[in-house]
Structure 1
Amino acid sequence: MSDPLFEEDEVPTWIFTFADLMSLLLVFFILMYSLSKMTETTLESALSSIQIALSSNGANINQSPRFYSGGGSKLIAPETPQLADTQDLTFSEEPIDTEEREQVNEIANDIANKMVSSNLSNAVSVFEDGEKITIRVDGQTLFESGEAQLSYEAEFIFNKLIDIFNRYPEYSISIQGHTDNIPINTVRYPSNWELSAIRATTALRYFLEAGFRPERMTATGYADSIPLVRNDSPENRAINRRAEFVLQKDPDLQKLYGK
């Protein structure tokens, strides 16, 4: 027969809930106290840390807070790059005859109409400058932040581009990758130069696997060296993150296809 003097009392289950509640209240009051003592410097430090952690390039980017935010006491202010000259982006250097200009304009309109009919006008834009046609695709539609693997949406867009490129085999295709100015430093991508170049070659490989001739295509990464707008806001940085497909009539391809 057991001695009741040595029996252990059972701990009521509600005590665990009560202990958790007390712990949460303690943390809450500590947080309130720390906020009441926050200075402008500590507030900027906290905001700069959040800005790094939640940058537009995502959590895959390994950035050094001490290097990019002044030790956590200053808000991040990206450097102001020199914007690409409008003439370099939109005009050819050599004069183009009227017939070729009209042909390029007709092809550009055909491509733009196909993008609209495919409900891709929000992600794809088409421009022509007399001899070149530029198909500009929103980078966020093609790739996840800080990655070079094609998204599901990218395959849908690329399949539409395959149909277009097959219609005009005498045009060469220059694939250009562009990023914003937020630095990246990961094992796979030490900088935006590697990221933009690998993204461009990933797109090129997709078209090569679809049967396009290698001599028809090139791929180049430009990182943040040719921004469309200043990288001074999340919206502008999103505009600068893009892939461009530049079509230009190639004499060698014209001979090959008899056009």
Structure 2
Amino acid sequence: MARRRRPEEHENHERWLVSYADFITLLFAFFVVMYAISSVNEGKYRVLSDSLVNAFRNNPSAEMVTVRYEQAAGKPRQVVALQSSSQPASPALQEETRRMRGMAGDLRAALGPLINQGKVRVTQSRRGIAVEISDSVLFNTAQAELQPDSVAALTAVAQLLRANDNLIQIEGHTDNQPIRSQQYPSNWELSAARAASVVRLFAEEGVAPQRMVALGYGEYRPVESNDRDSGRARNRRVTLNILADNRDEVSVLPTDAPRPQAASQ
């Protein structure tokens, strides 16, 4: 008898579907896990989306979003703050804004010549007024004693400040050039001593000492690069911060402390 021929086995051309299906399954599982561990905040997304749309539409009543980063547990954390501009500011806030704007104008007028020379900068923000004074106006190199020519300018500033009750932060800054004198072992001591010299002068001119604080930052808060002479010159400065949102804090002053009197018109 003739032997039966076994049917030929055809090569399976669809074996790739098995690997493809495994790949798709793994990819799907990956995205599921990524979505599960993510922290999508729909409220923040909606606020940011609406703000961008209103900004491009030039809507004056749009809500504004402020995004800042805070340090939490060693890792930066994004914080989204919603600020609504649709409601008018309170009369007290409007009056405070006008008062601070007027004070900034008075400071610019008193320091006009130094501002024109680029030695002084007066800026205003929601935090308050910042008066940045170059160290060349106030001090000799590596010294913290006020120069006689600078006393007149600072006295004019003190006369404006003693008529209000805002808290004042006076900051001393240096460049990154080391200093190792017997009096000032480092830039920390030099910057703190310079800030204290301005505080002492203001106190002598009638500004309540309880309103002031002297801070020495040394070389660690530069506003320009220390790689250039112009940058180092800008970093050597004293900054007066007149805070705008602290009127309630001043009420904790001792009752026997002299309160500033309003300037006569």
- Structure 1 and Structure 2 fold alike (TM over 0.5): yes
Matches within 5 A, 1:1-259: 97=89, 99=94, 100-116=96-112, 119-121=113-115, 122=117, 123-167=119-163, 169-249=164-244, 250=246, 251-253=248-250
Alignment RMSD: 2.7
Looking at structure 1, the residues matched to 155 and 205 of structure 2 have their Cα atoms a distance apart, in angstroms, of 9
Letter matched to residue 230 of structure 1: S
What is the aligned-residue identity percentage?
30
Give the conservation status (yes or no) of the 8 Å contact 1:134–1:246.
yes
Deviation at 1:103, TM superposition (A): 3.4
Q: Using a 3 Å threshold, how does the CA distance of structure 1 residues 207 and 258 change in structure 2: closer, same or farther?
A: closer
Q: Mark the runs of 5 or more structure 1 residues left unpaired by the alignment.
A: 1-86
Matched residue of 1:174: which SS? strand
Give the conservation status (yes or no) of the 8 Å contact 1:101–1:131.
no
The structure with higher relative contact order (CA 8 Å, sep 6+) is 1
Give the conservation status (yes or no) of the 8 Å contact 2:104–2:129.
yes
Highest Rg: 1 or 2?
A: 2
Letter matched to residue 225 of structure 2: R
Deviations 1:71-101 (A, max 9, x none): xxxxxxxxxxxxxxxx99xxxx997946133
Deviations 1:232-251 (A, max 9, x none): 11111001100011001432
Equivalent pairs, count: 166
Looking at structure 2, the residues matched to 130 and 106 of structure 1 have their Cα atoms a distance apart, in angstroms, of 14
TM-score, normalising length: structure 1: 0.58
Deviation at 1:142, TM superposition (A): 0.4
Deviation at 1:202, TM superposition (A): 1.3
Letter matched to residue 142 of structure 1: L
Q: Mark the runs of 5 or more structure 2 residues left unpaired by the alignment.
A: 1-67, 70-80, 253-258
1:37 match: none
Q: Using a 3 Å threshold, how does the CA distance of structure 1 residues 184 and 232 change in structure 2: closer, same or farther?
A: same
Greater percentage in strand: 2
Matched residue of 1:212: which SS? coil
Looking at structure 2, the residues matched to 138 and 128 of structure 1 have their Cα atoms a distance apart, in angstroms, of 18
Matched residue of 1:150: which SS? coil
